[in-house]
Structure 1
Amino acid sequence: MSYTPINEISKIRDELRATFCKGTTRPLSWRRRQLHQVARMVQENLEPFAKTIINDLGRPRNETYPVELGLVVTRSITSAEKLEEWTKPEVLTEAVPDWQKTWKPTIFKQAKGTVCIIGPWNYPMILTLQPLIGAIAAGCCAIIKPSEFSPAYSTLLAELLPKYLDTSAYRVVLGGIPETTRVLELQWDHIFYTGNGRVGRIVAAAAAKHLTPLTLELGGKSPIIIDANYDMDLAAKRLLWGKISNAGQICISPDHAFIVREKQDEFTAALKKWYGIFYANGPLNSEYGHIVNETHHTRLMALINETKGEIVVGGGSNDKLGIEPTVVKNVKNDDVLMDDELFGPIFPVIPVDSVDDAIEAINARPHPLMLYVFTEDDQVKQKVLENTQSGNIAFGDTFQALSVDALPFGGVGESGYGRQVLKYTFDEFIYLRSSIDMPKEAEPTLEARYPPYNEEKLKFLGAACLTKIPDDA
């Protein structure tokens, strides 16, 4: 992968800023064209994009086409269709008292300006182009900095994007730590970063120097609570699928499961059963993703070797960076597997005495990006909702939660802040600019504000202080 010369990065930023200041991105017809071009770029290069992602991650086609390629195409088209609705100014005549209605109180949805998108390697297409779709819809210019750990995809994106999008407004910057450092030294009007909390802190610190607003899509350990009365076979099937997707290398991968002690063996036996059904010839001889690089492979194998839990199934690896989905039962809260986000195909199962104990353990850790709850009991659902915090929560399933376009997705606390998907991504790249248009005819209603001051004017201006407070129920 040929990196962008560091001395060129500030020039690229300046060129994008000049384009924004000229108003190039302002017309909705122009934005619509660019959004359709994103869809065309992917649709006309489906196989090349799929091959690069498979080359970088070893991910099966069945996991690549719908989640990466398909979502970019459909969400680009939907965003283009929704532009008028999303960008339409809101005139608030119904939301203000009668004496302010003639002021035409209005909220305009205005682009923040020139923005920076820093993407990860684990879902390199959707997690770089989805923010780009929102930035285009908002009327921003943008650079896209894809991960150096997905070099095949990043190189292809840098090659194809200039053939489809206006390069005076959208550019790709390739590189590693030095190039990213240079990007972060510059002033941007918004930074959208997807990755881990360690780098997220670096990004936030760099943004703070310029008071730059941020979206941080991070991760952490996404826990699971399994109610004793839930169908253990179905829970095992759905959870194992969630864990094996992209070999566990996803920010909302089900990280570890809490289950009442008397159900642990039934649950892990069901996991073993579905493991055999999913991979009759073993995962390492099947369509199954590999670990992104040697460093992460070594880290994950060390965890498997160091855990004090009992490995029920899996645990093996090969020299092609593959690691078998590995189920570990009787894991304790202080086990090595519980130190950090696993980001790999290891599945710790932690026996507890009750759902309350699971909730207590979850609350002792940073707020997760996703919390999974397998129960059909409405009281259990309500208990978990009222007594935990997480960016998102899913009942009865895992990864599929991200397929609902109408829902916002994002973290809370350590798992990040900001929201995305369609309009929620658009909202990250705009600011709300309020306006009034005071008519000349309103002057008689404003007389009380002018000097000379007197008691009569004070009584009028201070009337709000004496507003009656309703009695409590």
Structure 2
Amino acid sequence: MATSVSMIPKIRDGLRATFRSGMTRPIAWRQHQLYQLARMAQNERELICDALKKDLGKPRTEVLMAEVGSIIERAVKSAQQLPEWAKTEYPEVADWQKPWKPTVYKAPRGTVLIVSPWNYPMILSFQPLIGAIAAGCTAVLKPSELVPTFSQLLAEIVPKYLDPNTYRVVNGAVPEISKLLELQWDHIFYTGNGRVARIIASAAAKHLTPLTLELGGKSPVIIDSAYDHDLAAKRILWGKCNNAGQICVAPDYVLVQRDKQDELVRAFQKHYNAFFPEGALDSPSFGSIVSDSHHKRLTSLLSRTKGDVVLQGRVDAARRRLEPTIVKNVAGGDSLLEEELFGPILPIVPVDSLDQAVDFVNARSHPLVLYAFSDKESVKQQLVSETQSGGIIFNDTFQQLAVHELPFAGVGESGYGYQVMKYTYDTFTQLRSSIDMPKEAEPYLAIRYPPHSEEAVKALTAAVHTPIPPSRQ
């Protein structure tokens, strides 16, 4: 059920009043809310699994592993580490400045808006919320209308566990998000695609609202010709099959040495048969495409490819099912390279050298993730030095999301702003600088007041004459 548009400004104003009351400031209060969020995920896991099965056909194990379990773990760890994160900092300064008591306070940004997508609707709603809670913010959650069962479930269970004066769920589609974007927020955190991100950024600019944009793009895979192609295929295929490829960090296309392409194809076929002995069409371990329109988009891209389909995924349009499909001999300009696939289709682009693979990646928008398979440190360093991406992952796919201590972010078209654990806390936290000048410092400050003597000018401008060491190249 959609939230009444007329209620949305009142919801925002109520959250802002709660924030100004100071309720969210005590560390113990924030920790309690984080533990409550973990309890919600744990206690309501069966309802969550059922909702995501209905909306997305998501396998139960995948939901428990990638969404429910991750939220429980990150909420608990954030609560435990929060006292350390929130400590006031006292930077090291020159001795003559120490009496000023230079200080950095950790202040919550205020009332924030979190807009989450449909593909991983639980973790991509609550992962940013964990940071907002930890920072001491109040927040509105706007889940996707493309997962209506799950979004309605959030509206029902969130108030049972989290303080409803502090955290609210707003459901709906274009009218509701449009009203939300008319309002001023202290931060907006959006996960989704670049087209909608531009609309959100434009709306935020009217209020000078800071943004975090977690987007996506075509995350390539580069395979070094000397690497074990059988192992690479196994790990790439596993990463591609998560949520039927509907995740921003899914491997989008593979760049492989031309004379190794058929070896890689055989390995994909081998591991597909091992993962799904009876095919993925009815497998409980493989999900559905989110909507009819997305299903048609994917099948249309496949129908226009000039590549060779070597693993033909069966299609069941009525159930929005599409099995993993491998296409080799894909060239630049192919339909499968037009846009982020966001589905279980994997194009293979043959190249003649590593340098050609690097040039191919660099000729396109910066991806969220660059995956590379190589045992050679020289190859790894070349890719680190010569490419740009939000992250660079060696010798696996998808698994980087399990490392809570790593920042997750894009660059350029794949977004900006950091998240996960402390990085999300930092996103919703203002570093508030302070000094406290003692009265006793007045004799030392006298030199700054005009009129300035020649001696005072010399002292005040001394930094201009700082010796600069010679460069060593």
TM-score range, shorter chain: over 0.9
2:347 is aligned to: 348
Query: 1:444, CA displacement in angstroms?
Result: 1.6
**What amino acid is aligned across from residue 215 of structure 2 in structure 1?**
L
SS at match of 2:407: coil
Q: How does 1:112-127 map to 2 (within 5 A)?
A: 112-127=109-124
| Segments ≥4 residues shifted beyond 3 Å | none
**What amino acid is aligned across from residue 143 of structure 2 in structure 1?**
P
CA distance in structure 1 between the partners assigned to 2:137 and 2:15 by the alignment: 9
Query: 1:309, CA displacement in angstroms?
Result: 0.3
Per-residue CA deviations over 1:218-244 (Å, capped at 9, x if unaligned) read 000000000000101100000001111
**Aligned-residue CA RMSD (Å):** 0.7
1:161 is aligned to: 158
- Judge conservation of contact 2:302–2:335 (CA < 8 Å) in 1: no
Query: 1:281, CA displacement in angstroms?
Result: 0.6
**Equivalent position to 1:172, from 169, 173, 181:** 169
**What is the TM-score when the length of structure 1 is the normalising length?**
0.99
CA distance in structure 2 between the partners assigned to 1:272 and 1:165 by the alignment: 47
- Judge conservation of contact 2:223–2:372 (CA < 8 Å) in 1: yes
CA distance in structure 2 between the partners assigned to 1:455 and 1:285 by the alignment: 86
Query: 1:83, CA displacement in angstroms?
Result: 1.3
Q: How does 1:226-375 map to 2 (within 5 A)?
A: 226-287=223-284, 288-318=286-316, 319-375=318-374
CA distance in structure 1 between the partners assigned to 2:392 and 2:60 by the alignment: 27
SS at match of 1:351: strand
Query: 1:314, CA displacement in angstroms?
Result: 2.2
Query: 1:447, CA displacement in angstroms?
Result: 1.1
Per-residue CA deviations over 1:193-227 (Å, capped at 9, x if unaligned) read 00000001101000000000000000000000000
Residue 100 in structure 1 maps to residue 97 in structure 2: yes
Per-residue CA deviations over 1:110-148 (Å, capped at 9, x if unaligned) read 000000000000000000001111000000000000000
Per-residue CA deviations over 1:226-281 (Å, capped at 9, x if unaligned) read 00001011000000011111000000100000001000000011001111111111
Segment of structure 1 superposing worse, 201-210 or 53-62: 53-62
CA distance in structure 1 between the partners assigned to 2:90 and 2:246 by the alignment: 45
SS at match of 2:355: helix
- Judge conservation of contact 1:244–1:325 (CA < 8 Å) in 2: yes
CA distance in structure 1 between the partners assigned to 2:276 and 2:223 by the alignment: 24
Q: How does 1:66-215 map to 2 (within 5 A)?
A: 66-92=65-91, 94=92, 96-215=93-212
SS at match of 1:91: coil
**Aligned positions, number:** 470
Query: 1:55, CA displacement in angstroms?
Result: 1.3
CA distance in structure 1 between the partners assigned to 2:44 and 2:407 by the alignment: 29
**What amino acid is aligned across from residue 161 of structure 1 in structure 2?**
V
CA distance in structure 1 between the partners assigned to 2:114 and 2:352 by the alignment: 44
2:21 is aligned to: 22
- Judge conservation of contact 1:217–1:418 (CA < 8 Å) in 2: yes
CA distance in structure 2 between the partners assigned to 1:89 and 1:72 by the alignment: 27
Q: Which runs of 5+ in 1 are unaligned?
A: none
- Judge conservation of contact 1:304–1:315 (CA < 8 Å) in 2: no
Query: 1:456, CA displacement in angstroms?
Result: 1.1
**What amino acid is aligned across from residue 406 of structure 1 in structure 2?**
E
SS at match of 1:347: strand
Identity of aligned residues (%): 58
**What amino acid is aligned across from residue 297 of structure 1 in structure 2?**
H
- Judge conservation of contact 2:245–2:342 (CA < 8 Å) in 1: yes
CA distance in structure 2 between the partners assigned to 1:304 and 1:273 by the alignment: 22
